[in-house]
Amino acid sequence: MKKLLLLLVAFTAGIASFAQTTWKVDPMHSFVNFSVKHMGISFVDGSFKKFDGTVAASKADLSDAKINFTVDVNSINTGVEMRDGHLKTDDFFNAASFPEMKFESTAFKKLSGNKYELSGKLTIRDVTKAVKFDVVYGGTAKDQQGNTKAGFQATTTINRLDYNIKYDPTGAGIAKDIAIRLNLEFAEAK
């Protein structure tokens, strides 16, 4: 009987160690930001206010993480309402036809320490391209309610012309390269 109980405990512990953990983005503590050079002399910064994302992993080092993220294009905010309206038109995002940007991971590789490389497919408008993010894993902590949270910062640069955003194709007024910075906090699902 004792051996059966030990076997049952070992089996349960084995299953628990391979159990998948799911994390959901905490929008109150997360930010999706971008920056683009304007006229070659300054930068315009902006953000998206509505987004959703999940991380699912069974390994403690997150090397098997599957990450999905969506951004509501209509939530763009650059601080200038007229510019935000223009960015939603077909000159840029065409939010009426393509209301979401999507990211789906293909690999999450630990490089060293808290640095990772996130690879995946980014869809903007009607174009899906491979993209890599440099990720810094901030670690985990318990909040005041006892919820486990995990923090990440992810950065990349994309060429907007690759995604059929053809306004000012010379890049003289609005640069081709867009710097993206995500500051994300995820809550472990219960």
Domain-embedded: residue 8: no
- Number of domains, the chain: 1
Domain-embedded: residue 164: yes
Q: pLDDT tens digits for 54-113?
A: 999 998 778 889 999 999 999 999 999 999 999 999 999 999 999 999 999 999 999 999
Q: Which residues pair with 128 in a beta bridge?
A: 123
Close Cβ partners of 94 (under 8 Å, ≥ 6 residues apart): 88, 125
Angle, vertex CA 128, rays to CA 189 and CA 38, nearest 5: 95
Residue 25, classified by CB atoms within 10 Å of its CB into exposed (0-12), middle (13-18) or buried (19+), is buried
Domain-embedded: residue 79: yes
Domain-embedded: residue 133: yes
Range of the domain at 36: 20-188
Domain-embedded: residue 88: yes
Residue 28 sits in a domain whose CATH number is: 2.40.128.110
Domain-embedded: residue 167: yes
- With residue 12 as reference, give the H or E element that holds it: helix 2-17
Domain-embedded: residue 174: yes
Domain-embedded: residue 13: no
Instruction: Give the pLDDT band of residue 12 (cuts 50, 70, 90).
Output: very low
pLDDT at position 1: 45
Residue 67 and residue 55 in contact, taking contact as beta carbons nearer than 8 Å = yes
pLDDT at position 38: 96
Q: pLDDT tens digits for 33-52?
A: 999 999 999 999 999 999 99
pTM summary value: 0.86
